Each structure stands twice: as C-alpha cells, then as structure tokens.
Amino acid sequence: MDTQAAQIQKKLQIELDSFKATQKEYSKLVQQRQQLDGQLNENQNVLEEMNILAEDKNTVYKLIGPILVKQSLTESKQNVSKRIDYISKELQKCNDRLTTIEKEQDKHRENLGKLQQQLSVISAMK
C-alpha cells in the first residue's frame, strides 16, 4: 500500500515539476510577445509617417551609433517594412507556441487532478 502511495507521490512530483516548467516558459513567452507587440506598433507608426513624406521635400536620417546618416526614403521604407514582416513572423511564432503550451498546461492540470484523487483514495482506504 505504502509503495503504491509513494509511487503516485513520485509521479505527482514529476508532473508538478513539468507543470511549473511550462508555467515559467508561458510567462516568459507572454513577456516576449509584449515586447514584440510594442516593436511592431512602433515600426508601423514609423512606416505610416514615412508614407506621408515626399522624397524631394523631406530628408530621412538614420541613427547609427551617435551620428545621423542620410538615407533615401524608399530604402528606409523598405527597411521598415522588412522589419515589420520579421516582427510579425516572430509574433506569430510566439502566439503558436503559447497556444501549444496552454494545451500542455491543461493536460498537466488534468493529470495532477487525477493523481491527487488517486492519492486521496489510497489514503482513505488505509
């Protein structure tokens, strides 16, 4: 009887550890998503602003280290669009990973509940 209880206890511990690990990754991913979301927003704002500009009227500079370097408008637009594409892709990846982790967490939660139940049944039988 005791060995059975110990076995379940052990399983419970393993399950709990992996559950905690997924929780940790989850919060890390949420943070990452927030950051990406912010970057995406900022880049979109910049692109929006660039779309109003005219090549012959406005000069675009890019900050490289402490100095401003002249850039052509079309090139800058391309650059920012590329960034937006990249960030969107990263964001998508992040979201996909989050949904899979959510599913994993649900599974862990279910398993934990079952194990706990088993444990309480065994202790009640004693």
Partner 1 sequence: MATISQNEGSNMQQIDLMKLNIQQLSQLKQQLDSELTIFQDSLATLKMAKGKFAASKESLEQFKEGFDQKTTLIPLTGSMYVPGRIKDIENVIIDIGTGYYVEKDRDSAKDYFKRKVDFVGEQIEKIEILGYEKSQIRDAICEVISVKLQQMKAQLPQES
Q: Which residues bind partner 1 (CB under 8 A)?
A: 42-43, 45-46, 49-50, 53, 57-64, 68, 71, 76, 80, 83
CA atoms of 82 and 124, how far apart (whole Å): 63
Question: Which C-beta is closer to partner 1: that of 8 or that of 80?
Answer: 80
Least Å distance between CB 37 and partner 1? 13
Beta bridge partners of 71: 60
Least Å distance between CB 92 and partner 1? 17
Question: Which C-beta is closer to partner 1: that of 1 or that of 64?
Answer: 64
Q: Indicate the residue type of 102.
A: E
CA atoms of 24 and 57, how far apart (whole Å): 51
Least Å distance between CB 19 and partner 1? 18
Question: Is there a contact between 105 and 33 (Cβ–Cβ < 8 Å)?
Answer: no
DSSP 62: E
- Please classify residue 43 by burial: count the beta carbons closer than 10 Å to its beta carbon, then call 0-12 exposed, 13-18 middle and 19+ buried: buried
Question: Which C-beta is closer to partner 1: that of 53 or that of 112?
Answer: 53
Least Å distance between CB 2 and partner 1? 32
